Amino acid sequence: MNSGATHSSPIVVVTDLIKQFGRFAALRGVTAEFAAGKMYGILGDNGAGKTTLLRTMAGLNHPTHGTVAILGQTKLREVCGMIGYMAHPSLLYDEMSGMENLRYFGQLYGIGDEESCRSAIRAVALDPDLERPVGQYSQGMRQRMSLARALLNDPKILLLDEPFSNVDLRSAREMVALLAKMRDAGKTIFVVTHQASLLEGAADEFVWMEAGRIVSRTQTFEQVTSETSGAGR
Amino acid sequence: MKKIFPILGIITLALLSYALYEALVAAPTERTMGDVQRIFYYHVPSAWTAFLLFFLNFVASIQYLVRRKPGADRVANWIVLAIAAATCIAAYVVPLPEGVEKSSVATTGIAIAGIYFLIRKLFPGERADILAVVTAEVGVVFCTIVLITGPLWARPVWGIWWAPGDIRLTSTLVLWLIYIAYLMLRKFSSGGNTALIAAVLAVFGALDVPLVYFSIWFFRTQHPQPVIGGGGSIDPRMMQVLLINWLAFMCFAYLVSWSRFRLEVLKRDVEQAQGLQELMETRAR
Amino acid sequence: MSVTRATLIKDLRLEWRSKDAINSMLFFSLLVVVVFSFSFDPIAEESRRIAGGLIWVAFLFASVVALNQTWARELRNQVLDAYRVSPAPANSLFIAKALGNFIFVCVLEAVMAPLFVVFYNLRALGPAYQLLIVAPLGTWALVVNGTFFAALSIRTRAREIMLPLLLFPISIPAILGMVSATTAILSGENSARFYIVLLAVYDVVFTIACLALFETILHAE
C-alpha cells in the first residue's frame, strides 16, 4: 500500500482519526501513513471528509478522537512553522497588494526580508511589483497569490484545499507543474480537489475518501476511475 | 438515586411549608417596619442561595478550564490550597473589621478549598460544564427573586424603589446581568465551543464582582445613600426563622438543580449515542 | 513584538486607506452628542453634574461601534485561519488589535470631548490635568475587554448584539469609575483619586485575564 517509504519514517501519521461536529461525523476513523517527498491527491465526493482531514492536519480542527502526528509531533503548534496551508477563501487582505500581504504574513513567520516575498510571488508566476489590491485580482491570480502566501515560509508540508477551483485550465496546469517541481525538491504536498484529472501524471498517489473514511489508495488515475465506476452502487 | 428524590421532595415541601408558617405567622413583628419586613425572610435566603450557586458556577468553570491541560490542573490545586492557608493565617494575624469573627473567616477559607476539591472529585470531565449550566440557571432564578423582593420591600419602608448606591442590591443586579449574559452566550453560541467560551466568561464575571463591590462602596462614601435592608443586629428569634427559610430554599434549590442536572446528562448522553450511531453506520450510496 | 508592531501598522494603514470605519464612527459620535444635547438641557446647572456621565455613555456607544468591527477584516476571506496556522503568538495579535482599537477610540474621544465642552459649556472646577489620566485608563478598560469579547462573539450567532451584551455588565465598575472621576473633576466637589486607582486596578486585572485566556479562545475551533 505504502510505496517506497522504507528508508525513512512517514512524515504524516494519522491514527484512527474521528471528528464529529455535534452528531455529524465528518471523519469516521481515518488511519494512514504518508511518506515524505510525495504529492498526494485527496479525492472524493462532497461531504467525504477531505477538507476536514486537511484542516485537522493543519491544526485548525481538533480531533474528537485519534491523533495526527506530523514530523513525529502530535502537538501541531510545535511544527506549524513547517506547514503551509491554502484553502478556497484566499486568506489574504483584499485591500492590500500582493507584496504588502506577503510582507505582513512573513512577519508572522519571522521572515523579514523582501527577497523571500518577491521570490514566492515570482514562483507562482505573478508580478511582485503589481500595486493592485488583491481584491481586484481575477480568481486565478488570487488563488496563485494565496499559494504564494502558503509557500512563504518554505514549508516542508503543503496542505492545499481546492487550489484549482475557478482557475482557468492553463493557470491550473502551471500550478500543477510548479507543485511537481516542489515535490521534486523534497516537499510533501497534499492536494484536495474535485478535478483529479489535473493531477494526472503529477501526483504520486491518489487517496480516495468516502463518508469519512479512506476507501482506497492508488498509484494512477486510471485505477481511480476504474474503482469509482466499478464501485458505483 | 431515583428513590431518594421523592423522599427529598416531600422533606423539601414540608420544610418550605414550615418555613412559610414561621416567616408569615410565627416570627415576631418588626418594631419599625411592621409586617412588610417579613419579605426579608425571602429576600435574604434567596440572595445567599444565589451567591452560593454562582460561586459553584465559578468553581465549575475554573475546573473546566484547567482540566484542558494537566499541568494547569496541578497548579490550580496548589493555588487553591495556598489561598485557603493564607485566609486562615490572615484571620488570626490581620486586624479584621468590626463584627467579623476570626473563626468564620478561617472557616470560609477552608470551606472554599473544600468545595473546590469536592467539585473536582464529584464532577469529572464534562460534568463540570453541566454543573456550570445548572448552577447558572438556578442561580439566575434566585437572583431574580432577590431583585424583585428588594424593591418591593424598599418602597413601603424607605419610600424609594431603588438606590443605586445600595451596595448589596446593586452588586446583586450586576451579578444578575453577568449571568444573564452568560446564559445568552451559551444559547447563541454556534459550534462545539459553548462550554469553553462560557467558562471564560464566568471567570471574567468572577473577577468583576469584587471590583463592582468596591466601586459601589466608595461611591457610597461620597454620596450617602439609604441602606436598603437595614444593618445591625438581628433578634435571635428572627435569625432562627431566617435560617429555617434558608435551609428550605437550599433544599429546594438542590432538588431543582439535581433534576436539571439529570436532564442535561440524559440530553448529552442521547447526543453522544446518536453521534456514535452515526459514526458506526456506513452510509450507503 | 515584531508581530504586534506589524499587525498594528497593518491595521492602521488599512484603516487610513479605506477610512470607512473611522468616518462612520466620527459621524455617529457627532450624532450621539447632538441627541444628548437635545435630551439633556445644557443650560441647567445640573448639566455639569451629569456631564461626566453623559460623555462616557456617548463614548461607550461609539466604542461599541468601533469594537464590533475589530475582527471584521480577519473574518473576510478567513484570514484568521492564516493567523492560527502560523507560529505567531496569539497574544501579539490581541495586543495589536487592542492597541489599534485604543487609538481609534481615543481619536473619537478627541473629537467628541470638545463638542461636549461646547454644547454643555463645560468648565473643570477641579484639577483638569487628571482628566488626561482618567481618559486613557477608562478607554483602555473598555477597549481591552471589548476586543476580547469581540473575539468571543465571533463564535456566536448574533455577533453584533453579543458584544455589548457581554461587555456592559462586566464594564460596570469601570464605567462607574470613569463617570464618578469625571464628575468629581468637573464639579470639583470630590477627589477623583480613588476612582483613578480603581480604574488602574481594573485595567491591570482584566489585561492579565485577557492575555491569559486569549490563546485558548483563538485556537479553539
Give residue-wise pLDDT tens across range C14-44: 888 887 777 888 888 888 888 887 877 766 6
A98 interaction partners in chain C (CB closer than 8 Å): none
Residue B202 gets the label, from left (phi > 0), alpha (psi -120 to 50) or beta, of alpha
With an 8 Å Cβ cutoff, are C169 and B211 in contact? no
Instruction: Give CA–CA dist C73/A95, Å, rounded.
Output: 9
| Conformation bin of residue B175: beta by default, left when phi > 0, alpha when psi is -120 to 50 | alpha
C-alpha–C-alpha distance, residues B198 and B189, integer Å = 9
Interface mutation target, options C3, C16, C77, C92, chain A, most CBs of A under 10 Å? C77
Question: Closest approach of chain A CAs to the CA of C175, in angstroms?
Answer: 35
Give the residue on C whose Cα is nearest the Cα of A96. Answer: C14
> What's residue B183's pLDDT?
96
DSSP state of B284: P
Does residue C50 have a pLDDT over 90? Answer: no
Candidate from A92, A110, A112 with C-beta closest to C77: A92
pLDDT for C117 beyond 60 = yes
Q: Distance of alpha carbon A22 from its chain centroid, rounded?
A: 26
- For A60, the closest chain C residue by CA position comes to C221
For residue C144, list chain B residues with Cβ-Cβ distance below 8 A: none
Per-residue pLDDT tens digits for B113-151:
999 999 999 998 889 999 999 999 999 999 999 999 988
User: Which has the closest alpha carbon to A5: A220, A155, A188?
Assistant: A188
pLDDT of residue B232: 62
Residue B17 has pLDDT above 90, yes or no: no
Cβ atoms of C21 and C15 within 8 Å: the answer is yes
| ipTM of the complex model | 0.90
C193/C199 Cα distance (integer angstroms) = 10
pLDDT tens per residue across span C181-199? 998 888 877 788 889 999 9
Where in chain B are the domains? 38-67+125-242
For residue A133, the cross-strand partners are A97
What's the gap in Å between the CA of A161 and the closest CA on chain B? Answer: 22
pLDDT in tens, B79-103: 999 989 988 888 888 777 776 777 8
Residue ranges in chain A whose pLDDT is less than 50: 1-6, 229-233
DSSP β-bridge partners for residue A73: A70
| Chain C residues lying within 8 Å of B184, measured CB to CB | 162, 165
Q: Are B136 and B182 in contact (CB under 8 A)?
A: yes
pLDDT at B283: 47
Give per-residue pLDDT as tens, B174-200: 999 999 999 999 999 887 889 999 999
**Percent of chain B scored above 90 by pLDDT?**
43
For B208, the closest of C156, C173, C221 (CB atoms) is: C173
pLDDT of residue C136: 95
C-alpha cell at B4: 431518594
At residue B58, the pLDDT reads 96
Query: What are the extents of the domains in chain C?
Result: 2-218
The C-alpha of B285 sits at a distance from chain A's nearest C-alpha, in angstroms, of 6
Query: Residue B282 pLDDT more than 60?
Result: no
Give the closest of B192, B201, B214 to C221, CB-based: B192
List the one residue out of A30, A13, A8, A36 whose CA is nearest residue A205.
A36
Examine the pLDDT at B39 and tell me if it is beyond 60. yes
pLDDT at position B231 is: 59
User: A108, C3: Cβ pair inside 8 Å?
Assistant: yes
A93 touches chain C (CB under 8 A): yes
Q: Which residues contact B106 (CB under 8 A, 6 or more apart)?
A: B87, B88, B91, B92
Provide the pLDDT for residue A9.
83
Is B192's CB within 8 Å of A25's CB? no
Cα R_g (chain B), whole angstroms: 22
Q: What is the model's pTM?
A: 0.90
CB distance B207–C201 less than 8 Å?
no
Mean pLDDT score of chain B, rounded to an integer? 86
Burial A147-164 (b: 16+ CB within 10 A, else e): bbbbbbbbbbbbbbbbbb
> How confident is the prediction for chain C on average, in pLDDT?
88
pLDDT tens digits along B195-245 = 999 999 999 999 999 999 888 888 877 776 666 655 566 778 888 888 889
CB C22 within 8 A of CB C152: no
Alpha-carbon gap: B97 to the closest alpha carbon of chain C (Å): 20
**3-state SS assignment for residue C5:** helix
- Which chains border A (3 or more CB–CB pairs < 8 Å)? B, C
How far away is chain C from the Cα of B51, in angstroms, using its nearest Cα? Answer: 17
C-alpha span between B228 and B151 (Å, rounded): 9
Residue type, B35: D
For cell 437635545, the residue is: C38
Dist CA C7 CA C96 (whole Å): 6
Q: Which of A189-198, C28-37, C103-112, C136-145 has the lowest mean pLDDT?
A: C28-37
